Amino acid sequence: TVPYSWGTTGIAVNRAKVKAKVDSWAWLFEHPELAGQLTMLDDAPAVVGSALKFLGYAYNESSPEAFAKVKALLTRQKKALKAYTPEAQPVLESGEVAIAQAYSGDVIQVRTRKNPNIEYVLPKEGGEIFGARADEIRRRAAASVESGGFPHRRAAQKVRDDAGEPPAHRADPEALDRAQVLLNRAVLSKK
């Protein structure tokens, strides 16, 4: 399938709770003072990938040595977590956590709609980049059309805008100009 948008997996920081510079996965793995105020995604590839990057491995490393280190790190980290969440939006909207592993689009949605204290950081070690599949936009657009809807091109644009995700191709220059995510340096920058 063809991707219609893309995003990254990184760190959401609640600036009302954390004033320090957050630029590393270390904030989710090595800060016991934040115990009970951290969440990770309930997404095994994203969790393992972030642990691998933190430990200095490639995101998709599969050696037994790397997995042994990841297992030890995640076992130690579990004591400090509030929860593994299928999505970070609810805990970010409420402001109940200090730092969360999150998808870039989710953070942008929370920041623009509910909680301006939330900031997105792409860790210096790197992280995951993903593409949302075109069949997903058809499902979302159909749901939008059924509930009062709009023309298909506008439906696609609205779905991307609502998700906080930029388009994955240049076929829609208007969407490229409009996508607020393209202005969000944390999503695009290596910093």
Domain spans of the chain? Answer: 8-129, 132-188
Q: Give the Cα separation of 191 and 189 in Å (integer).
A: 5
Which position has the token pair 């805008």? 161
pLDDT (average), residues 37-48: 96
Per-residue model confidence as pLDDT tens digits over 64-79:
999 999 999 999 999 9
56: left (phi over 0), alpha (psi -120 to 50) or beta: left
Residue 176: the pLDDT is 46
Beta partners for residue 66, in sequence order: none
Per-residue model confidence as pLDDT tens digits over 139-188:
655 555 454 444 455 555 665 666 666 665 555 555 544 444 444 555 55
pLDDT (average), residues 48-76: 97
CATH topology for the 8-129 domain:
D-Maltodextrin-Binding Protein; domain 2 (3.40.190)
Q: Give the Cα separation of 8 and 59 in Å (integer).
A: 13
Which position has the token pair 């997903």? 136
Stated pTM of the model: 0.75
Contacts of 167-171 with CB under 8 Å at 24 or more apart are 167/4, 167/5, 168/2, 168/3, 168/4, 168/5, 168/6, 168/131, 168/132, 169/2, 169/3
**Is the pLDDT score of 84 beyond 70?**
yes
Residue 167: the pLDDT is 61
* pLDDT averaged over every residue in the chain: 81
What is the share, in percent, of the chain residues with pLDDT greater than 90? 57
If residue 83 lies in a helix (H) or strand (E), which one and from where to where? strand 81-85
